[in-house]
């Protein structure tokens, strides 16, 4: 089971995770796209990355053109390196997709 990250470590990791923020025991980021199709595309990229990493966030498509991704490590009951890895990989994948 992945070890929980202390708050200082989370803040340090967030400095390298553009667009992400801590909310309680989660990391979260919202993208606003041109429309629903763009939001669907982003959700699919996130889903692909999540399956490759075997670490699955909540993915919400809302307000027709927004996607909010929220990750926490259920097995550990909070934030772990797995969440940081997912956020970093999602940022990398979406940079390519932009
Ligand atoms: C056995 C367990 O389901 C797997 O290790 C993975 C699957 N995806 C997961 N995703 C998330 N967000 N947290 C987990 O603890 C987790 N565990």
Q: What is the ipTM of this complex?
A: 0.94
Length of the chain equals 98
Q: Which atom of ligand 1 is nearest to the CA of 75?
A: 15
Q: Where are the alpha helices (DSSP H) in 1-98?
A: 7-14, 36-53, 81-97
Spatial distance between the Cα atoms of 2 and 64, rounded to a whole number of angstroms: 35
Task: Domain count for the chain, please give it.
Answer: 1
What pLDDT was estimated at residue 98?
54
What pLDDT was estimated at residue 78?
98
pLDDT in tens, the chain (98 residues): 899 999 999 999 999 999 999 999 999 999 999 999 999 999 999 999 999 999 999 999 999 999 999 999 999 999 999 999 999 999 999 987 55
Q: What is the DSSP letter of 98?
A: -
Question: Does 12 reside within a domain?
Answer: no
Question: Does 71 reside within a domain?
Answer: yes
Q: Pick the residue whose CA is nearest to atom 16 on ligand 1.
A: 55
What pLDDT was estimated at residue 97?
52
CA of 74 to the centre of ligand 1 (A): 6
CATH code (residue 77) = 3.30.1360.20
Question: Does 50 reside within a domain?
Answer: yes
Question: Does 75 reside within a domain?
Answer: yes
What pLDDT was estimated at residue 30?
98
CA of 34 to the centre of ligand 1 (A): 31
CA of 31 to the centre of ligand 1 (A): 24
The range of the structural domain enclosing residue 32 comes to: 26-97
Question: Does 67 reside within a domain?
Answer: yes
Burial 40-64 (b: 16+ CB within 10 A, else e): eebbebbeebbeeeebebebeeeee
Q: Which atom of ligand 1 is nearest to the CA of 83?
A: 12
Question: Does 2 reside within a domain?
Answer: no
Question: Does 19 reside within a domain?
Answer: no
> pTM of the full predicted structure?
0.96
CB within 6 Å of ligand 1 — which residues?
A: 54-56, 71, 73-75
Question: Does 80 reside within a domain?
Answer: yes
């Amino acid at each position: 089971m992945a070890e929980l990250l202390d708050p200082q470590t989370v803040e340090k990791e967030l400095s390298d995770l553009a667009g992400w923020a801590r909310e309680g025991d989660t990391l979260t980021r919202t993208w606003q796209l041109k429309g629903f199709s763009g939001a669907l595309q982003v959700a699919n990229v996130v889903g692909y990355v999540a399956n490759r990493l075997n670490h699955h966030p909540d993915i919400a498509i809302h307000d027709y053109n927004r996607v909010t991704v929220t990750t926490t490590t259920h097995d550990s009951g909070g934030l772990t390196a797995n969440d940081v890895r997912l956020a970093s990989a999602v940022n990398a994948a979406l940079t390519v997709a932009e």
